Structure formats: C-alpha cells, structure tokens
Amino acid sequence: MVDAPESAVPDRAETARRPGRRGPGWWAVRALPVVLLLAGGGFLSLGVQERDPGAAANRALVDTPATTGVIGDVSSALGKVFSYSPADTAATAQAAAQLLDGTAADQYRTLFGQVQQQVAEQKLTLSSRVVRAGVEELTADRAQLLVFLDQTAQRAGRPPTTAAAQLSVTAQLRGGHWRITELKAR
C-alpha cells in the first residue's frame, strides 16, 4: 500500500471551505432563518386578529339572545307592515307608524298611500311572513339584517299567488324595541 503525501489528502476544514461541497446539515442552517421569519409573521398575524375590534364589536357573532331578539322584533314588524286586507288598511298604517322610523317610514308612507287605494278597488289581500332572517351586524343599538319574505297576494275571484322578497333592513333599538329605520329591496 502506498501512502499518499499529506498535501494530497484534504483535511475536513479545507473540505468545508471549498465551494460546491456542503456538509450534512447545510440545508438546516439555510432554512432556519426562513422558518423563523414565517413563524414570526404567523404569530404577528394572530396577534393583530386578536386585537381586531371589528369582530369583537359585532354582537351578532357572540350574543345569541340579542341576535334572537332583533330577529324576532324585525320579523314581527315586517309581517305587520307588509300584510293588509281591504277591510282594514288602517291597522296596517297604524302598525307602520309604531314600527318604522326615518327613511323606512317615509318610503312606506309614500308607497302605502298608493297601494291603499288599489287595495280597496281590487279587493287585494296581502299576507307576508319572514321565512329566514340573519343578522349581519349588531351593536348595542343598531342592527343590519338580511331578511327573506314569502308574500301571498289574493285578489277577489282569483287564486292566490306567492312571491319571494329579499330585503336589507337596518333597525335601531329605541325604548327596548327594535324599530326599522331603513329598507332596501335586494
């Protein structure tokens, strides 16, 4: 066996310094800063979400009794103001005066003033009921809802017809009851 000269066999330190030659854990050393950066970004993101006042301020996400209460008041109100018969449009108008405020009250008075005349002439009965309602946003005194209604209309001598309606509803809490302040057809 022939011994190689000492200068022909590289030592470990020299091998580690040569370009193109990597030791067994080189990828871990390179990946560590990337992993730490990603983990730090993830923890920062979680911290920002925890401090986000938007989600915490929306009681619809955390307060089931308040959410149920606003859905009940708004559903009841919509059933009353969008149901009428030729025999008693005054009761519908009175319900609207008690349950609607602001823009919703103004729009309703204008619309119902036109409808009231046709109700008597056509002997029209309209029955409305909420089939689904969801609270999109809820604070201590304001709520934004999406409501789905079924409305059944019947004219004298004709079969009833049913149609669906979808409304965006804004309500304000006044005197312990939710009053509708804005209605938009969707």
Q: pLDDT tens digits, residue range 85-126? A: 998 898 999 999 999 999 999 999 999 988 888 888 889 999
Residue 88 lies in a domain: yes
The reply to whether 180 falls in a domain is yes
**Cα separation, 41 vs 147, whole angstroms:** 40
Instruction: Say whether pLDDT at 5 is over 80.
Output: no
Evaluate whether residue 39 is within a structural domain: no
Question: Which residues on neighbouring strands pair with residue 149, listed in sequence order?
Answer: 130, 165
Residue appearing with tokens 């401090």: 51
Which secondary-structure segment (H or E) carries 153?
A: strand 142-155
* Residue 126 resides in a domain: yes
Output the pLDDT for position 174: 92
The number of folded domains in the chain is 1
Is the distance from CB of 167 to CB of 78 less than 8 angstroms?
Answer: yes
Residue 143 lies in a domain: yes
- We report the CATH number of the domain holding residue 162 as 3.10.450.230
The string of pLDDT tens digits covering residues 118-153 is 888 889 999 999 999 999 999 999 999 999 999 999
Q: Which two tokens stand for residue 122?
A: 């056509």
pLDDT tens profile 45-90: 665 555 555 666 898 889 999 999 999 999 999 999 999 999 889 8
In a domain, 78, yes or no: yes
At 22 the pLDDT is: 62
The SS3 call for residue 110 is helix
Domain range for 106 is: 63-185
Residues 6 or more apart from 177 whose CB is under 8 A from it? 73
Q: What is the mean pLDDT of residues 11-39?
A: 63
- Give the separation between CA 133 and CA 103, rounded to whole angstroms: 21
